[in-house]
Amino acid sequence: MWRLGWGLAALVVTVAVLGGELAAATLSEVPDPAWPTGTATVVVAVVAGALAWRLPRLAYDAWRYQLTASTLELRRGVVVHSHTAIPYFRVQHIDITRSPLERALGLSQLVVRTAAATTDAQLPGIAAADAEILRDLILARTGRGDAV
């Protein structure tokens, strides 16, 4: 159930490399650089690389979700820790999204929605097969099935 984060990891790496390249491009615009143009790129690449290596692991370790008796609980965050609780019967609907990267890795993302627009409940990196089971599990607990 805890397969998470490789999609996220790849994403962070891509973004970081892109950021490094962009930083290099902007820095090289400076007419009279005090140090060789390459320095900034190297620094950025090293920092980004380190972050890209470390962050996904941390994010993955920080990510937990739990189905309790009455609520769906999510814990996540490396810099900002966050613990969200959503009562099942407040769940309005659940989306399953799959980005190309996630598809390549056989993962899905579950997005749980309530009547509040501010509810932020995403469960990334769920194995595709598990995602539908999990969705049905949550929906079964919303009590909608036998309500009407």
Partner 1 sequence: MPSELEAPEASEAPEAPPAPPAASPRRLHPVSPVLDVSALGRQLLAPGAVAFSAGGLRLLALGVVVVLVVRVLAWRRRTYVLDAAVLRLEGGLVVRSQQVVPCERIQQVNLVQKLRHRMLGVAILEVQTAVGGPGSGLSLEVLAIDEAERLRAALLAAKVRVQQRTADSDAGIMHDGGDGGGVGEPAHAPRAEQWVPAAWPVVELSYRQLTLAGTTGVELLVVLALAPATAQVAWALPWRPWDDVRLPALDVLGPVLLAALAVGFVAVWLASAAAVSIFANAGYRLSLVGDELQLSRGLLDHKETTLPLARVQAVRVSASLPRRVLGLVSLRIQSAGTGSNSQETRMAVPILAASDLGRVLALVLPGAGPLPELHRPPPAALRRALVRHVVPMSVVAAVITLVVWPWGALALLAVPPAGGLGVAAYRGLGHALVDGFLVSRSGSCNRQTVVVPVARSQSASVRASVWQRRLGLATLAVDLAGPGPRPLVHDEATAVAEDLLGRVMAGVGGPGSDDESDPGTTAG
Question: Where on the chain is the footprint of partner 1 (CB under 8 A)?
Answer: 70-71, 77, 79-87, 89-90, 92-93, 114-121, 143-144, 147
DSSP state, residue 75: E
What residues contact residue 61 under an 8 Å CB cut-off, 6+ apart?
Answer: none
What are the distances in angstroms from CA 77 to CA 50, 83, 84, 89, 98?
18, 9, 11, 25, 21
Q: Are 63 and 55 in contact (CB under 8 A)?
A: no
36 versus 69: smaller Cβ distance to partner 1: 69
34 versus 81: smaller Cβ distance to partner 1: 81
Tell me how far, at minimum, the Cβ of 78 lies from partner 1, in Å. 9
Tell me how far, at minimum, the Cβ of 21 lies from partner 1, in Å. 28
34 versus 115: smaller Cβ distance to partner 1: 115
70 CB burial (10 A radius; 0-12, 13-18, 19+): exposed
41 versus 114: smaller Cβ distance to partner 1: 114
Tell me how far, at minimum, the Cβ of 123 lies from partner 1, in Å. 14
Tell me how far, at minimum, the Cβ of 33 lies from partner 1, in Å. 25
